[in-house]
Amino acid sequence: MLCRNGTVALWRAHMDRLRSGCERLRIPVPDETELQEDLGRLASPQDGNGVFRLQVTAGEGGRAYGRPAPCRPNRVSSWRPLPAYPKRYWQEGVRLHLCRLRLGRQPLLAGIKHCNRLEYVLARSEWQDADIPEGLLCDSEGHVIEGVVSNTFAVAGGELLTPQLEECGVAGVMQARVRKIAEHAGLVVRQERFPLETWLEADEVFMTNSLIGIWPVTAIGHKRLSQGPVTRRLRGSLLEYQLGMEDLADGARPREGGS
């Protein structure tokens, strides 16, 4: 979660997703007051910008994947500085590696940001080029799903497209925010299953997550793309959201007494 001077942007959206994921995985939902206290202990307004990370597990279990009864969940909270990405990723765009790995389809886990990231670890191991910060992932049937650490959008025929995530992939908080901004701006947004060719032939492609906001895409593998007006327009609206203090009103701030 993006933390600006002790405030987590999009806190409510992150908490709603956490609650939904816990419910689907049958893990008791953490008390939000305790999470805010964690934030207060780890990040103060004097710490500047950083990343507040929260991980919740079902607790210690028995053999053969058994869970304790009753379930006593554990949580791990941490704060670290923001990643030092070059400014050109936002200004000039990024190149994507076209991943050979295909994501397995599992509707019971689709959309959840769960702790099994092995597919993404394997996908990221496919390339070592420091000038390529992200990869594009498809499912076993060749439909575009997401990036290794981000969601993806394409612009085609005057419409904004983003993949359906009902069988695999992670439903990103920033993906939902960008959709809302686009719809407010009058853009037609379609979330469906799209073949890879749709992205390769698109007018524009960009990637999103809570830390990067929007990165324009200049290439997918060997296919060159151009940064276009829709990406610039949405990025401008998103920057206004991220930087305006009134827009952080739904964020979480450290509770009083935190250090």
Q: What is the pLDDT of residues 150-187, one digit of tens each?
A: 999 999 999 999 999 999 999 999 999 999 999 999 99
Same domain, 68 and 92: no
Q: Are residues 78 and 125 in the same domain?
A: no
Q: Classify residue 54: in a domain, yes or no.
A: yes
Let me know whether 66 and 146 are in one domain.
no
Same domain, 61 and 180: no
What CATH number should be reported for the domain holding residue 234?
Answer: 3.20.10.10
Is 254 part of any domain? no
The predicted pLDDT at position 252 comes to 58
Residues 28 and 107 in one domain: no
Q: Which helix (H) or strand (E) holds 42?
A: helix 32-42
**Greater pLDDT, 45 or 215:** 215
Task: Tell whether 63 and 148 lie within a shared domain.
Answer: no
Please give the torsion angle defined by the CA atoms of residues 239, 243, 249 and 253, in that order, rounded to the nearest 10 degrees: 120
The tens digit of pLDDT for each residue in 98-154 reads: 999 999 999 999 999 999 999 999 999 999 999 999 999 999 999 999 999 999 999
Q: Are residues 112 and 234 in the same domain?
A: yes
Overall domain count for the chain: 2
* pLDDT, tens only, 185-226: 999 999 999 999 999 999 999 999 999 999 999 999 999 999
- Of the candidates 58, 82, 106, which is a domain's last residue? 82
Last residue of a domain, one of 59, 82, 105: 82
Q: Are residues 155 and 236 in the same domain?
A: yes
**DSSP per residue over 163-218, as a string?**
E--SSSSB--HHHHHHHHHHHHTT-EEEEE--BHHHHHT-SEEEEEETTTEEEEEE
Domain identity same for 25 and 99: no
223 and 147 housed in the same domain = yes
Mean pLDDT for the stretch of residues 69-88 = 90
Split at pLDDT 50, 70, 90, the class of 16 is: very high
CA angle 212-216-219, nearest 5°? 125
251 falls within a domain: no
- Domain end, chosen from 82, 117, 146, is at 82
Domain boundaries, position 165:
88-243
Structure tokens at 70: 């009753």
Same domain, 141 and 33: no
